[in-house]
Amino acid sequence: MAEVLTQTQALVLGGGVAGLLAAAALKGHVERVTVVERDRYDGARPRRGVPQGRHAHLLLARGVRAMESLAPGFEAALGAAGARRVRMPQDLLTYTPFGWTPRFPHGQFLMSCRRPLLESVLRDLVDVEVVQDAEAVGLVGSGGRVTGAVVRSREDGVAREVAADLVVDATGASSKADRWLRDLGRSVRDVVVDPGIRYATALFRPAQRLAGFPAVCVQPGPPDEGHGGVLLPVEEGWWIVSLAGLRGTVPPTDAAGFLAYAKGLRHPLLGRLLGSAEPVGPIRAYGAPPGRLRSFPDVAGFVAVGDAVANYNPLYGHGMTVAAVDALALRDGVAEHGLGGGLARSVRKAVVRATADAWALAVGQDTRYERTFAPARKVPDRVAGWYADRVGAAAAVDTGVAAALLDSYTLSEPLSRLTRPAVARKVLRKLDRPSPEPPLTPEERALLTP
């Protein structure tokens, strides 16, 4: 390591989005916060340790508000750097398995930009000590209390024990915390749901007339239609387009195949837009890891956040938002308990609550595809799936249901809101047939004509 690190009050393992937010949560409550990051930062360029960093990312309104609370000035700085604010559903054309989501004024939104830009803005705002080119390879302590971590330099291979009152695992989906805790005599339970998702992503320069066209999301359709895609505006006036395929379907990485795949989605709108856009750079492929929910034991001095606790099918865009809500839980926990014995349990319970709805949304969808590897669906799961289908169908024709679904999807409201009487009455009544055409304005429809 470039410096000899032997102790700190709080040690955050991982310097990505979850790690930076955890560090921001601890600042002001802990005298010294140190982040250990396996990569070396290079401005706003993608990091080698984040292969998904080149693909489409979105930050939902709940995540934006949480990050703003943790790092004041975040939203303005992100916007100034080129991120785009996409109102939901006004600026987003979404084709669900049940039809097009209607467009109407609503308070939800997402921020769209490339992942490296978002991390760069966060690093500038959080401004904590970061030991780069180093990685955690184990925990120090016992089954009852973690007292530090073993950190190895990737430059010289030397490993050192770093003492800490609190260790935060923010190493993401590749976290080894289950193995590390097992070495200390504790076990971690997990549930795995694997839809076998593959991505192909490219940047495009839109035709000038389409520069202000809405974002587009064409969702897959269970049980056997596993093709999907999203087009989002990002910095520099570009579009980022990610095409997805569930198990058995791999989106092409050649230009002609990519365009053909986009045109072959359940609706051809996304492909039609790409037909008049200019590619910028190569097409990148990515195989997402299985979705995994880990249940950690209470161990004093240790907390896990973000994808280290749960990672989901990235098609739903919940990862960064949940990491931000987890960081709020960490901030509130350390404000109440300091670094005392009650901190780990308090934060673990809050993280479980923050994770529950995002996991339920992802798994509720993924397990409905025929080729998903997952535990068998039980009767309550099937009933929940039936009701979710009714909600989706109602949202395609009723703005009240669509608004409630958006609020739950963005994690701004609990999923339970969808079962409240005012919503359930609309969901369970006889539904109108949705329009097969996207809800375009006359001006937008005219733009599609070359």
Q: Are residues 44 and 124 in the same domain?
A: yes
Instruction: Output the pLDDT for position 1.
Output: 45
Residues 220, 227 contacting (CB under 8 angstroms)? yes
Number of domains in the chain: 2
How much is the pLDDT for 200? 95
Specify whether 317 is located in the same domain as 345. yes
Residue 341 lies in a domain: yes
Alpha-carbon separation of residue 126 from 33, 173, 337 (angstroms): 11, 23, 22
Per-residue pLDDT, 97:
95
Domain-embedded: residue 126 = yes
Contact 141, 147 (CB under 8 A): yes
- CB-based contact 301:341 (threshold 8 Å): no
Instruction: Return the pLDDT at 280.
Output: 95
pTM of the full structure: 0.95
Within this chain, do residues 258 and 339 fall inside the same structural domain, yes or no?
no
Cβ atoms of 206 and 232 closer than 8 Å: no
The per-residue pLDDT for 27 is 93
Q: Give pLDDT < 50 ranges for the chain.
A: 1-2
How would you classify the pairing of strands 239-245 and 159-163?
Answer: unpaired
One-letter amino acid for residue 43 of the chain: G
Q: Could you give the residue ranges of the DSSP H alpha helices within 264-341?
A: 269-274, 319-337
CB neighbours of residue 173 within 10 Å: 17
d(CA 372, CA 289): 13
Could you tell me the two tokens for 242?
């990610």
Torsion, Cα of 214, 220, 221, 227 (10° steps): 130
Residue 146 near residue 184 (C-beta atoms within 8 A):
yes
- At 121, list the tokens: 């803005």
Q: Is residue 395 part of a domain?
A: no
Beta sheet of 310-311, edge-to-edge order: 189-193, 291-295, 310-311
> What is the reported pLDDT for 5?
67
Q: What is the pLDDT of residues 94-112, one digit of tens each?
A: 999 999 999 999 999 999 9
Domain harbouring 138, CATH code: 3.50.50.60
Query: Is residue 109 assigned to a domain?
Result: no
Token representation of residue 14: 């991982």
Helix 17-26 and helix 61-70, axial crossing angle in degrees, nearest 10: 40
Name 167's bridge partners: 11, 302
In a domain, 430, yes or no: no
Length of the chain: 450
Is 224 found in the same domain as 371? no
Report pLDDT for 309: 98
Do both 161 and 282 map to the same domain?
no
Judge contact between 97 and 392, C-beta under 8 A.
Answer: yes
How many CA atoms lie within 13 Å of 24's alpha carbon, on the beta-carbon side? 30
Q: How far is CA 172 from the centre of its chain?
A: 11
Query: What's the pLDDT score for residue 50?
Result: 78
Looking at 267, 287, 307, the residue that finishes a domain is: 287
Please indicate, yes or no, whether residues 36 and 149 belong to a single structural domain of this protein: yes
Domain region containing 329: 1-50+115-192+291-375
Interatomic CA distance for residues 311 and 194, integer angstroms: 11
CA dist list (Å): 273 to 41, 208, 292, 410:
35, 12, 35, 26
Q: Are residues 203 and 182 in the same domain?
A: no
* pLDDT for the residue 3: 52
> Domain check: are 129 and 255 in the same one?
no
Exposure string for 403-428, b = 16+ CB within 10 A, e = fewer: bbbbbbbbbbbebeebeeeebbebbe
Query: Quick check: is 429 in a domain?
Result: no
**Is residue 329 assigned to a domain?**
yes
Residues 158 and 276 in one domain: no
Tokens of 26: 């601890």
pLDDT for position 2 = 42
Residues 149 and 253 in one domain: no
For residue 420, tell me if it sits in a domain: no
Q: Residues 279, 229: one domain?
A: yes
Cβ(218)–Cβ(265) under 8 Å?
A: yes
- Alpha-carbon distance 262 to 231, whole Å? 10
**Residue after which a domain boundary falls, among 324, 354, 375:** 375
DSSP letters spanning 354-365: HHHHHHHHHHHH
Q: Are 160 and 182 in contact (CB under 8 A)?
A: no
